Each structure stands twice: as C-alpha cells, then as structure tokens.
A and B are shown apart, each in its own frame.
Chain A
Amino acid sequence: MKRDVIVAVSFLLAFLFIAYAVVYINVLGLGGAELRPLGEFYLGHAFAHEGLTSHSPEVVTAIVWNYRGFDTLFETFVFFLAIMGAFSVLRLTREQESIVRELEAKEPHRQMDLITRATTKLVVVMIVAISASIALHGHLTPGGGFQAGSAMAVALLLLFAVFSKFTLERKGLNLRHTISAYALGLALILATVLAPVFLYGGKVLEINLLPGETGLFNLDVGEYTAVTFGFLTVFLVLGVSEWIFKTVLRGEVDD
C-alpha cells in the first residue's frame, strides 16, 4: 500500500514538472504560436457568403463533414463493419431465435423499485431532448451526429438497465427494427453524399452545392440515426443471458 502511494505521488510530481516546463518555460516552443494559414482558411470560409463556404458557423462540423468529409464517411463505414462483425459472430437462426424467446419467458421477472423507475423516465426524456438538440443544431452549435447518437444510446441504455431488454422489445425496438433503422440512417448519409453528383454535376461529397445548410443537416441526422441504432443493436445482442446462449449453442453441437 505504501509503495502504491509513493508511485502515485511520483507520477503526480513528474506530471506537474512536465506541465510546468511546457507551459511556463515553453520547452516545446508551443506558447504564442500564430494561427496557421490553413486554420485561417477554415475560419474565413466555413461561414461566408461566397466562395468555398459550407454555410456553417460551427467550424468543427464544417471540417468534419465537408473539408475532411471522406475521413468521417469512412469512419462511419468502419463503425458499420465493426457492428456487423459483432452481430454476425453472435447471430442466431430463426429456430434458435424462437428457442431464445421461449427460454427468456421462463426467466424470473425482476424489477427495480419505484423511485428508480420514475427518475429514469424523467431523465430519459431529458437526454432524448438534449441529444435531438445536439444533432439538429449540429451545424450551429458544438456537437453533431456522432455525439448526439452516443447520448441517445445512453438514454436507451438506461431504459435497458432499469427496465429490461423486453420492455424495449415490447415497444418495438427489436433487432430487425433497429437494423432497419440503422440502414435508413446510412442510406440518408449515402444519398446526401451522392446528391451533388446527380443533381448539380459536382463531385462526391461536394455538399457546398446543395442549397444552404441542407447537406450538413442531412449528414448530421443520418449519423445520429446510424450511431443510435448501431449501439442499440450491439446492446440487444449482448443482452441475451449467458445460460440461454449456452443452451442454444449446446443444441447446435448436438444436431
């Protein structure tokens, strides 16, 4: 225990020394750096009346979806591949799904107490409202599709933890619906990315050509839907109890 304290304190001292050296003695030469020309370009063009503007006072969103749009586009597809990989490893056939449903009906019915449930209902409404404002104002204030989607996933997760997986499924958020909604979000992103090519004869992802901030708004909403339902898909798959999975897999071995 004493050794732990010594290690922690020496880490702390080393870190404070490095921080002091970087900030006050300016060892790395970072202090007083001027704005680089690239930064000046972004600040001047993200919201302007003419030229290569993306109609967005929020420069981060303009960079993320417009000036560096391909990075974000491929990031979205990497996220999609990761979730589809997890889903295909844990997939079940139609018969296995009906076995799982039968076994889940036998599980003991557990419930959290009234205070937790009532508070969660209130908090979930607030989180959903905030995530919607983060997504729909993503081109005006800090935030964007991914941030809003992860906040929304947290709200659904709270419902998942405090009520149950079955509550979500009874409300219509079962696996088929979440995957369809995920596909819908990705379709909106792809449509917005390809729209400049077919409508205005521009290049892929040249969303400056679309009227006003439509491009950034659509991309934010598409990413919002995709991230929310992507996370929910993973949680629904992982939420199946371990003994049920084992029973199903044992049946697979016996066949």
Chain B
Amino acid sequence: MIGIHLAILAIVVSFGFVFSYLAMKEHDLLKALALSSVQSTFFALGFYILAAPDIVLAYLAIAVGAYTALVILAISKTERYEVGE
C-alpha cells in the first residue's frame, strides 16, 4: 500500500484531462474558457496533493483569475463562436 493520496492524485488529474479534452472540443469560446478553468482547479488540487502549496497559490490565481480575464478581454474583441471545421 503506497498511499491513498496517490490514488486520489490519479483520479483528480484524470478529471483534469477529461475537462481539457471537453474544452478543446467546445465551439463556444466562453464555455471552453469555463471548462478550462475547471480543469485548472483539478490540476491545482493535484499540485496540493503533491505537497506544493506554493504552486497552488500562484496557479489558482493565474489560471482561474488572470488568464480567464485576459482571454475574456480577447474574446470581447473578436467573436464568441468558433465557426467552421
């Protein structure tokens, strides 16, 4: 038994992968952004289980806060929906 925390890590990061896949397939850019911030939250949990609280503090603020806001500002200057294949 190496540790239950590694199993939790695997589950959390798998959820992160699923959400990043969904974000890539999404054609509504704002929805894709929301999915990508959910993915960041899961990865932040993963960093916390890996005992890196310094990274968690920076990662959450950047990936959920600043990055999302920058991309929303960028989307507001173009169109919301991705068209074509």
Contacts and interface: CB of A to CB of B under 8 A. Distances in A.
B61 A154 contact: yes
A7 B25 CA distance: 11
Interface of B: 2, 6, 9-10, 13-14, 17-18, 21-22, 25, 53-54, 57-58, 61-62, 65-66, 69-70, 73, 76-77
Contacts of A60: 54
Interface in A221-251: 231, 234-235, 238-239, 242
Given A15-B17, A142-B54, A147-B58, A154 B65 contact: yes
Contact of B66 (A11, A231, A242): A231
B21 A7 contact: yes
A196 to B, nearest CB: 25
Interface residues of A, number: 34
A144 B54 contact: yes
A161 B72 CA distance: 11
Contact of B10 (A16, A143, A148, A231): A16
B13 A150 contact: no
Contacts of A189: none
A16 B77 CA distance: 40
B13 to A, nearest CB: 7
B73 A239 contact: yes
Nearest to A15: B14
Nearest to A26: B2
B20 to A, nearest CB: 10
